[in-house]
């Protein structure tokens, strides 16, 4: 271990990497929030690319995925389980009824406020506990299938759709 690594070691490594993973999630979420605030209803109602998902679908999809993490990480009840059918179980343009865009914008804020506050309060050791969708038996063999790993993977998922949502912006 280099001297520099030992310097880093003055803060317990476990807390340091929880901080890194949570910061990456927060950065991704803030980036999306800023973009949603910037996009008009018309821009969000349009397809990100011709024949692809609309910005509205991607917004509802991301809200539903974050909302599902609440019970998955043991952080309490979901706020909007009613979104799953239209935004997770089915593709865009399914013909299913969906909330108006203004409601979805509100849900994005509510769900993320609840989720961010909840993850900020998770005790360090708890992040390495199993999430609720893996059995104790499987977890004993695969200890990386913990709560922090869920957050890391969901951050990448959110970034993927953020890249697509950028195409809802008007062209320069």
Q: Which residues lie near a second copy (CB under 8 A)?
A: 1-2, 4-11, 13-14, 16-17, 19-21, 23-24, 27-28, 48-52, 123, 125-130, 136, 139-140, 143-144, 146, 148-149, 152-153, 155-157, 159-164, 166-167, 171
Q: Taking a C-beta distance cutoff of 8 angstroms, is the pair 66, 78 a contact?
A: no
> Considering the complex, what minimum distance in angstroms separates the CB of residue 165 from a second copy?
9
Q: Toward a second copy, which CB reaches closer, 24 or 79?
A: 24
> Considering the complex, what minimum distance in angstroms separates the CB of residue 153 from a second copy?
7
Q: Toward a second copy, which CB reaches closer, 1 or 121?
A: 1
Q: Toward a second copy, which CB reaches closer, 102 or 171?
A: 171
> Considering the complex, what minimum distance in angstroms separates the CB of residue 131 from a second copy?
10
CB-based burial label for 39 (10 Å; 0-12, 13-18, 19+): buried
Phi-psi region of 47 (alpha: psi -120 to 50; beta: other; left: phi over 0): beta
From residue 20, alpha-carbon distances to 16, 24, 26, 68, 106 in Å are: 6, 6, 10, 22, 28
> Considering the complex, what minimum distance in angstroms separates the CB of residue 102 from a second copy?
25
Could you give the CA distance from residue 44 to residue 119 in angstroms, rounded to a whole number? Answer: 28
Q: Toward a second copy, which CB reaches closer, 79 or 128?
A: 128
> Considering the complex, what minimum distance in angstroms separates the CB of residue 51 from a second copy?
4
Annotate 122-172 with DSSP letters as a single string. Answer: S-GGGGGSBPTTS-HHHHHH-TT-BHHHHHHHHHHHHHHHHHHHGGGSPP-
Q: Toward a second copy, which CB reaches closer, 75 or 157?
A: 157
């Amino acid at each position: 271990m280099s001297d520099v690594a030992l310097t880093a070691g003055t803060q317990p490594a476990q807390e340091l990497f929880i901080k890194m993973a949570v910061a990456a999630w927060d950065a991704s979420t803030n980036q999306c929030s800023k973009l949603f605030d910037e996009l008009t209803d018309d821009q969000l109602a349009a397809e990100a690319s011709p024949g692809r998902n609309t910005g509205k679908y991607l917004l509802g999809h991301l809200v539903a995925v974050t909302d599902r993490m609440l019970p998955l990480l043991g952080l309490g009840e979901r706020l909007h389980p009613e979104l799953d059918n239209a935004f997770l179980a089915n593709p865009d343009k399914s013909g299913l009824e969906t909330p108006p865009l203004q409601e979805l914008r509100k849900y994005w804020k509510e769900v993320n406020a609840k989720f961010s506050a909840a993850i900020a309060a998770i005790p360090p050791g708890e992040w390495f506990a199993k999430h609720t969708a893996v059995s104790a038996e499987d977890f004993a063999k695969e200890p990386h299938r913990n709560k922090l790993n869920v957050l890391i993977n969901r951050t990448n998922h959110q970034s993927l759709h953020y890249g697509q949502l950028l195409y809802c912006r008007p062209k320069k």
